[in-house]
Amino acid sequence: MTKASVPGGIPTGMDLMQNPRLNKGTAFTEAEREAFGLIGLMPEGIDTEENRLKRIMLQLAKKSTDMGRYIFLQSLADNDRTLFYKTIMSDPVRFMPIVYTPTVGAACQTYGHIMRRPKGIYLGINRKGRIAEILRHWPEKDIRFIVVTDGERILGLGDLGTNGMGIPIGKLNLYTACAGVPPRMTLPVMIDVGTNNEALLRDPLYMGLKQSRVRGKDYDDFLEEFVQAVQEVFPRCCIQFEDFANVNAVPLLERYRNRVSCFNDDIQGTAGVAVAGVLAALRITGKPLTEQRFLFLGAGSAGTGIANLLSQVMHQAGLPLEEARARCHLFDIEGLVVESRNDLASFQRPFAHKGEQLRSFAEAIEALKPTGIIGVSAVAKAFTQEVIEAMARLNERPIVFPYSNPTSHAECTAEEAYKWSEGRAIFASGSPFPPVRIGDKTLVPGQGNNVYIFPAVGLAVYATEASRVTDGMFITAARAVAEQVTQADLDAGLIYPPLSGILEASVQVAVKVAAEIFKEGQARVPEPEDIELYIRSRMWRPSYKQLL
Ligand code: NAD
């Protein structure tokens, strides 16, 4: 069989078996084996998809660590992409912590050591002026989603340089596994401007540029070239900025959000998931949003991002925007964020109110009487017994969200929040906590995982080819997530839908976000009669395709 005579230009023999998108391993049919020159290159037995999945599960069971499972699964993705997704989608609760946090964090810390083969595109700042040319080296020509990082603030782990590539890869795995975004249309990108991590610079197995980080105009120009090159090479692509340090994350988003299709999940996705948690919590308290008052511990990208979206939702609920903002207070390392402070960044200013710069968080609670406290400071144990008891004294059902990651940085544990509030706290954390028994009740702590928001927004943006990604879309997503929480979930204290049903939950959220995209006039496809049917028709599913 010559290549020219093969149907559909599909490669033959070993080339086909080494193509992760088309490879079916021992599940190639007899006719495909004949047509594509595969006879003799594998045993005679013909597998079902289910058998191949069973074999993967058996092999995974023999691995004794999550890192071993991570390496195994990433190799599977290099070898047979369909089977990789079939595996992780078969049990998201089990596999999400392996392909993403917390395992991906440990993987990034040793990425240069565990790497089998490169994935995605690496843009070294030494290649300035050549970004469009490099993007054209990628074999797929219709890229719709890029997740890009410069590796400077990987999760809570700091500067990991190009080892941070594990994050865009993992995040894009979730776009597909949790919302069906077609994997061949996604591309992880690493902007390599050097690293200030001395240990990596000394490590002979570190594969990034061995220089300290480039900053200032050269950095900005390189990012500008990148954004322009994406518009030129992949004109229908949305860019998701990921794990940039605060000094770059906020300015990058401000620079590009009104120019191209882009968003920052650390800022907007986090805000979406927090707003969803608040809206679901209010279904428990039965109190209106317009009467809430929030105090944030931490005034960085997560804190200001949440305060910004929350005040917009309060505004939609009827409060003038200024009044809504006045109900969101920030407290950072220097104390309460107040008008008289002269050390504030422009994105913190809208939440700098009149008053004294109180230095103690407990004092600020007594003064402001918040209905909810949200921890985004990465300061472990900052929600002390005094803090939780004060919240429980001031509120029948206090909202307590210690969102800082990883678990060791959480402002309090679920058990502490429940114990010190006599089981009355409505709790959600960034990292998962096990259920807690208080008296005769088992309380299930919610996890404010961004995965409820970004894959669904991604699916809607991809399906509608949205030209911009707006706050309105994240607010819509937050409302849709909160609506999915059932009364039974709320009774158990759960304010997010169960992760086990994430794919279907994402579809429901994506349908609402897509409707918002059409309403805002940002879609670049005609509005279909039935948006849900349309969204479902655009989703990718992990099953082997007939090649003949
Ligand atoms: P950041 O560096 O931008 O902000 C940190 C803020 O905490 C700063 O305002 C700083 O002044 C403040 N802070 C530090 N020490 C303090 C102290 N002792 N007392 C009071 N304030 C103090 O970081 P970020 O990107 O906003 O992230 C903050 C945390 O939120 C991280 O732990 C991150 O993992 C977590 N986070 C969670 C989610 C999620 O669960 N969905 C999403 C995003 C971020």
One domain for residues 483 and 526: yes
Domain boundary residue among 233, 260, 287?
260
Strand segments, DSSP code E, in 125-178 are: 145-149
One domain for residues 306 and 430: yes
One domain for residues 255 and 272: no
Pairing assessment for the beta strands 145-149 and 446-447 based on DSSP bridges: unpaired
DSSP string, 500-512: GGHHHHHHHHHHH
Peptide bond into 102 cis (omega under 30): yes
One domain for residues 58 and 189: no
One domain for residues 371 and 407: yes
- Bridge partners, 374 (sequence order): 296, 401
What's CA 397's distance to the chain center, in Å?
29
For residue 470, the tally of other CB atoms under 10 A from its CB is 17
Q: How close is the Cα of 377 to the center of ligand 1, in Å?
A: 3
Ligand 1, residues at Cβ distance < 6 Å: 156, 246, 266, 270, 273, 297-303, 331-333, 376-379, 403-405, 409, 430, 448, 450
Flag whether 243 is marked binding: yes
Report residue 270 as tokens: 């986090």
Protein residue whose Cα sits closest to atom 6 of ligand 1:
298
One domain for residues 270 and 255: no
**97 is a domain residue:** no
One domain for residues 376 and 500: yes
Domain boundary residue among 260, 292, 326?
260
Pairing assessment for the beta strands 238-241 and 145-149 based on DSSP bridges: parallel
Rounded Cα–Cα distance for residues 258 and 515 (Å): 20
Q: How close is the Cα of 403 to the center of ligand 1, in Å?
A: 8
One domain for residues 75 and 222: no
Q: What angle do CA 479, 405, 214 make, to 5 degrees?
A: 105
Q: How close is the Cα of 498 to the center of ligand 1, in Å?
A: 26
Relative to the CA of 405, which ligand 1 atom is closest?
34
One domain for residues 220 and 346: no
**58 is a domain residue:** yes
The pLDDT assigned to 6 comes to: 60
Domain boundary residue among 239, 260, 281?
260
Active site residues: 100, 171
Pairing assessment for the beta strands 186-192 and 121-124 based on DSSP bridges: parallel
* CA-based max dimension of the chain: 81
* CATH number reported for the structural domain that contains residue 233 in this entry: 3.40.50.10380
> How big is the chain, counted in residues?
548
Helix ranges (DSSP H) in 159-244: 166-179, 198-202, 217-233
Which run of H or E residues covers position 336? Answer: strand 335-336
Q: What is the residue type of 114? A: I
Rounded Cα–Cα distance for residues 535 and 48 (Å): 29
Q: Spell out the SS3 assignment of 268-308.
A: HHHHHHHHHHHHHHHHHHCCCHHHCCEEEECCCHHHHHHHH
Q: What is the residue type of 38? A: L
Domain holding 421, by residue range, is: 266-548
The pLDDT assigned to 525 comes to: 97
User: 478 with 512: CB under 8 angstroms?
Assistant: no
Flag whether 257 is marked binding: no
**98 is a domain residue:** no
The pLDDT assigned to 332 comes to: 97
Q: How many helices (H) and strands (E) does the chain have?
A: 24, 14
Is residue 158 exposed (0-12), middle (13-18) or buried (19+ Cβ within 10 Å)? middle
Flag whether 173 is marked binding: no
Number of alpha carbons in the 13 Å side-chain half-sphere of residue 437: 2
**234 is a domain residue:** yes
Q: How close is the Cα of 332 to the center of ligand 1, in Å?
A: 9
Written as tens digits, the pLDDT of the chain (548 aa) is: 444 446 668 999 999 999 999 999 999 999 999 999 999 999 999 999 999 999 999 999 999 999 999 999 999 999 999 999 999 999 998 999 999 988 998 999 999 899 888 999 999 999 999 999 999 999 999 999 999 999 999 987 899 999 999 999 999 999 999 999 999 999 999 999 999 999 999 999 999 999 999 999 999 999 999 999 999 999 999 999 999 998 899 999 999 999 999 999 999 999 999 999 999 999 999 999 999 999 999 999 899 999 999 999 999 999 999 999 999 999 999 999 999 999 999 999 999 999 999 999 999 999 999 999 999 998 999 999 999 999 999 999 999 999 998 788 899 999 999 999 999 999 999 888 999 999 888 998 999 999 999 999 999 999 999 999 999 999 999 999 999 999 999 988 889 998 899 999 999 999 999 999 999 999 999 999 999 999 999 999 999 999 99
The pLDDT assigned to 7 comes to: 62
264, 403, 454, 474, best to mutate for ligand 1 pocket (most atoms within 8 Å of CB): 403
Relative to the CA of 267, which ligand 1 atom is closest?
43
Relative to the CA of 377, which ligand 1 atom is closest?
7
Q: Find where tokens 């990921």 sit.
A: 242
The pLDDT assigned to 157 comes to: 85
Rounded Cα–Cα distance for residues 489 and 487 (Å): 5
